[in-house]
Amino acid sequence: KEGKPVAVETRHLIEVCVSDTSPALPDGTSSTPLLTVSQYACKRRTTTVNNNKILTDALEVLAESYEFKEIPGRCLAFRRASSVLKSLPWAVRCLRDTEGLPCLGEHSKAVMEEILQSGHSFEVEKTLSDEKYQTLKLFTSVFGVGPKTAEKWYRGGLRSFSDVLAAPGIHLNRMQQSGFLHYGDISRAVSKAEARALGNLIDEAVRAVTPDAVLALTGGFRRYRGKEFGHDVDFIVTTREPGKEEKLLTGIIERLKQQVSTLFGLLLYCEYNASTFDMVKLPSHQFEAMDHFAKCFLIVRLEGGRVEGGLHGAEGDGRGWRAVRVDLVSPPMDRYAFALLGWTGSRQFERDLRRFARAERRMLLDNHTLYDKTKKEFLAATTEKDIFAHLGLEYIEPWQRNA
């Protein structure tokens, strides 16, 4: 659930506390920057420069802890508060700075005030040292382990990886087995150079299957999204021949499986999900986290020699390669703009795009379509700009979507 729809969008005109960056006026007073901050992340411009990292890190710890406790409303409230602070072009120095800002509830404000005054928050520190929080955080950091499995293991008295691996009653699925096997590599951040090297590797496989395929880096490493590091590398791949996109993806997987690098297979793990996309079943009124396009979740062996400047953070491990998580999604070409918009992120940006569409425009947006409930029709789009225009939103560049 994405929270309660708000009937009328509230705009907030705020006056910011005078800061060092405010230019002094000739009469000796300072100008106060005026800023309109929307409650919707898709109406804010958020770059990777976060002027309030101390505050947002703290709020995100609480968001995560409520996610583990399966209290989605509170989790979302902290995520929204954090996202608003990320969009500010200045650092919050006192609570008065935040007057008029949307999405900052009493709880968030109390945490912020404590940090602004004393440098830390009692509640955040208590959470960070909480055994259950620490254990769930550890377990969910394994590829293939979600909050439900982590909770089950915790309730079974397990506290560490060695507990899990030694427990007699635990059956790890294939994804989790690979998650443990490559844990060190997968939990290490992927650099931009590594993402580019993977792009070349996937591109070679794509060209070998179909020369005229379209391959795009998306997610945090999409061109101009601006993230330096990520947890995986996401690609959209499709073809201009209608209906051939699914074959394309299985072809790419086959090609990658056949490829060997220094005698080892390139694909360390591959889970392929066939398409369940069916225009007839749309629009979907229920929010679904995953789209229905054909996709695969991979772990790819990346040789250091392919990476400009070498592998990130692998100094001294002597292996010369690392494992990287890669996702490929393959929508039909006429769904490309929706898939690209949905897979570019950030998550908070996507959430609020859908929430804005529903609450402010009576439209349903997902990775497949945009549906106008008033006109009872699907709205066509070949570019992201078309979708923003249908929604009556100013276009937000990928590098401004780091909400």
Using CB under 6 A as the criterion, which residues of the chain lie in contact with ligand DCT when the complex forms? 219-220, 227, 230-232, 234, 289, 342-343, 345-347, 350
Question: Is 317 a known ligand-binding residue?
Answer: no
Residue numbers 214-253 binding Mg ion by CB under 5 A: 219-220, 230, 232, 234
- Per DSSP, the three-state class of 287 is coil
Give the angle subtended at the CA of 208 by the CAs of 206 and 209, to the nearest 5°.
Answer: 65
Using the CB atoms, write b or e for 160-176: b if 16+ within 10 Å: eeeebeeeeeeebeeeb
The answer to whether the beta carbons of residues 325 and 186 sit under 8 Å apart is: yes
Q: Give the binding range for Mg ion (CB under 5 A) out of 173-181, 187-195, 211-219, 331-339.
A: 211-219
Question: Is 234 a known ligand-binding residue?
Answer: yes
* Residue with smaller CB distance to ligand DCT, 124 or 186: 186
Is 366 one of the binding residues for Mg ion (CB under 5 A)? no
Question: Is 232 a known ligand-binding residue?
Answer: yes
* Min separation Cβ 275 and ligand DCT, Å: 17
* Residue with smaller CB distance to ligand DCT, 231 or 306: 231
* Residue with smaller CB distance to ligand DCT, 146 or 320: 146
Residue 194 binds which one of Mg ion, ligand DCT, none, with CB within 5 to 8 A depending on kind?
Answer: none
Does residue 232 carry a catalytic annotation? yes
Residue numbers 172-191 binding Mg ion by CB under 5 A: none
C-alpha span between 193 and 144 (Å, rounded): 26
C-alpha span between 202 and 166 (Å, rounded): 37
The token pair that represents 269 in the structure block: 């793990």
* Residue with smaller CB distance to ligand DCT, 15 or 228: 228
Long-range CB contacts (within 8 A, 24+) of 399-402: 399/47, 399/48, 399/224, 399/225, 399/226, 400/45, 400/46, 400/47, 401/46, 401/225, 401/344, 401/345, 401/346, 401/349, 402/46, 402/47, 402/48, 402/86, 402/225, 402/226, 402/227, 402/346, 402/349
Give the angle subtended at the CA of 143 by the CAs of 292 and 248, to the nearest 5°.
Answer: 40
Catalytic residue among 130, 163, 203, 327: 327
* Min separation Cβ 11 and ligand DCT, Å: 25
* Residue with smaller CB distance to Mg ion, 353 or 359: 353
* Min separation Cβ 324 and Mg ion, Å: 11
* Min separation Cβ 239 and Mg ion, Å: 23
* Residue with smaller CB distance to Mg ion, 249 or 326: 326
C-alpha span between 381 and 331 (Å, rounded): 14
Does residue 130 carry a catalytic annotation? no
The torsion region of residue 358 among left (phi > 0), alpha (psi -120 to 50) and beta comes to alpha
- Full DSSP string of 62-94: HHHHHHHTT-HHHHHHHHHHHHHHHT-SS---S
Count the residues of the shown chain that bind Mg ion, applying the rule CB under 5 A.
5
Residue 331 binds which one of ligand DCT, Mg ion, none, with CB within 5 to 8 A depending on kind?
Answer: none
Catalytic residue among 232, 291, 352, 366: 232
The torsion region of residue 192 among left (phi > 0), alpha (psi -120 to 50) and beta comes to alpha
* Min separation Cβ 76 and ligand DCT, Å: 13
* Min separation Cβ 290 and ligand DCT, Å: 8
Does residue 278 carry a catalytic annotation? no
Catalytic positions are: 232, 234, 327
Q: Which residues bind Mg ion (CB under 5 A)?
A: 219-220, 230, 232, 234
Which residue ranges make up the annotated binding site for Mg(2+)? 232, 234, 327
